[in-house]
A and B are shown apart, each in its own frame.
Chain A
Amino acid sequence: MKRSVLFIWCALLGYEVMSQDFEKSWGKYEVDTLLLDFVVPDVPAFKALGTDPSNILRPSDVQKFAIAFDPFFDGSNAVIPDNFAVDFAPWKLLSGGWTLESYRENWIKRVAYNSSFSIGTLKDNESGEFKAALGYRVKIAGKNADLLTSEYINEVYVKQATETELAKWAYDQWRKMKDLSMIEVSNLDSAALAEREQYFEDNLNLFAYLKDKKLTLKDYNKSDSLKAEFKKSNYEFVNVSKMISDFNNSGWNATRTDLAVAMVGVSADSLVKNIQYANLNLWVTQSLRLGKKGQLLIGGNLNVPDAGNAEFTLSARAYVGNNKFRAYSEYQFINQNDVNEPSALINLGAEFNFISNFWFQFYAGVEDVLGESGVSQFRSSLNLKYSFNETAK
């Protein structure tokens, strides 16, 4: 719930920032047609409604569940809430009963795990219309984008076996230090076992040092000189968590495919039964790893409205950087049926992750570089973005 509240706050903040950008930068155009939506959005339903505050520029992983809504019922009628957002990954929620083996062997499970559904509603305060959208997104990870299916997991298992050996040795040391028999240990309650586990985890380096030097915990506790030696040694045991963290950090630019679809309906009032089809949005983004520090995103977006021609966007973005900071250049081609001529954008920008899932994004570029309308203009923007779903860092 705390995360949902945080998200709502961020969404409001982000929306306001983007609305201001829109007014200053993009003039008469609709936000949706000009904001760079060539990467599959985290929450397709938001994006399709034009309420996605972050206009996500990074591939991301699905979240188990998040929700924020106003009441569904007004008197006796089912109504569309003024503002409603829900994003959920049902198979991720159910995965607690899966085995790692089945996840590795069954691609359907992997697709299901990386799928999420979203529902969003928005009330237009000027027209009084309600928009509602249903969205679905899926990540299809390349072999090295998911540790659980990568070959690197074998190295993790080797390291983990060493750590388990260390835990076993440390638990034996702990038992001897406490002068407990195995019968007594097997009778310990869960709190006492948890305490022992915590003691080991808090003193991982010490136990690794003692095991390496063939010393006992009992001797160590009695000897000030041994304590001084250990302190002086700066001994460090690289645990498995560190290996996994390193893998994740180096995987920000892993090869993967993201797909999303969202269908939007409009209702003149808040009654669910009056919703009518408005448009359909499709997104696809292929992320390609370019060495250790680069990534190329190739994306497309198709918007099929109820009336009029379909509109499509083709884009490419090249990143250079790491999981915390990256600079990019991009090119985007938009076929806008309502402007009667195509438009193109060239941008240079940077993204900086300053805390948790918060990102600063800056970009500057030229709009309508094709120059057919004779109105090529310099554009720039600084945004604070919140990545709703977990980023692929």
Chain B
Amino acid sequence: MPNEITFNPTGEKLNVDIQVTGLVIVSYSLRLWSVSPPEEKVVQEEIGNNLQSHDDFFWLRNKSQDHLPEEVAKNNGRIVELISTVNTNKDEVEYTIKMVFSQGDNRDQQTPLEDVFIKRTIKKSDGHHPSLYAILKAQ
């Protein structure tokens, strides 16, 4: 069953916050896919890591058209993909990577939606490359 994130198409901006817990070193690549058949294309791409949490919050929109106002409803059917690399220098560490979706024009005043997460344990010599997917659905 795909992870569906239901949002209000007439509401405020749609956002995702990448949250990582556990003493792990994480880098990630976030992509927003437009999948209107037959075309599939990346409309937004971000990279980040868990060194600082304040820069892991992203507005979901077609980044190539940043100069134009974009309707939140256009996110309907889009796919959010998160590909990560995880390492640790500790013996065995439990970690969680979470995509927290919300709506709100102001970062400090968000209406929470659904979360998509993965929870795993990593050992010192391992390197993980987990991925997460979510499909955005207008109410």
Contacts and interface: CB of A to CB of B under 8 A. Distances in A.
Contacts of A9: none
B23 interface: yes
A171 interface: yes
Nearest to A156: B25
A252 to B, nearest CB: 13
B28 interface: yes
Is chain B's binding surface mostly helix, strand, loop or mixed?
strand
A187 interface: yes
A148 B95 CA distance: 15
A185 B79 CA distance: 10
Contacts of B107: none
B85 A240 contact: yes
A393 to B, nearest CB: 11
A99 B35 contact: no
Residue with the highest number of chain B CB atoms closer than 10 Å, among A98, A182, A244: A182
A187 to B, nearest CB: 5
B87 A160 contact: yes
A182 B89 CA distance: 34
A100 B27 contact: no
A197 B84 CA distance: 11
Contact of A95 (B22, B29, B87): B22
Interface in B108-139: 124-131, 133-135
A181 B35 contact: yes
Interface residues of B, number: 47
Contacts of A97: 21-22
Nearest to B33: A182
A157 B83 contact: no
Interface in A371-393: 390
A90 to B, nearest CB: 15
Between A164, A197, A248, the greatest number of chain B beta carbons within 10 A of the residue's beta carbon is seen for A164
A173 to B, nearest CB: 13
B28 A164 contact: yes
Interface string B1-35: 01100000000000000001111111111010101
Interface of A: 61, 63-64, 95-101, 103, 113, 146-148, 153, 156-157, 160-161, 163-165, 167-168, 171, 181-183, 185-188, 193, 196-197, 200-201, 239-241, 244-245, 247-248, 390
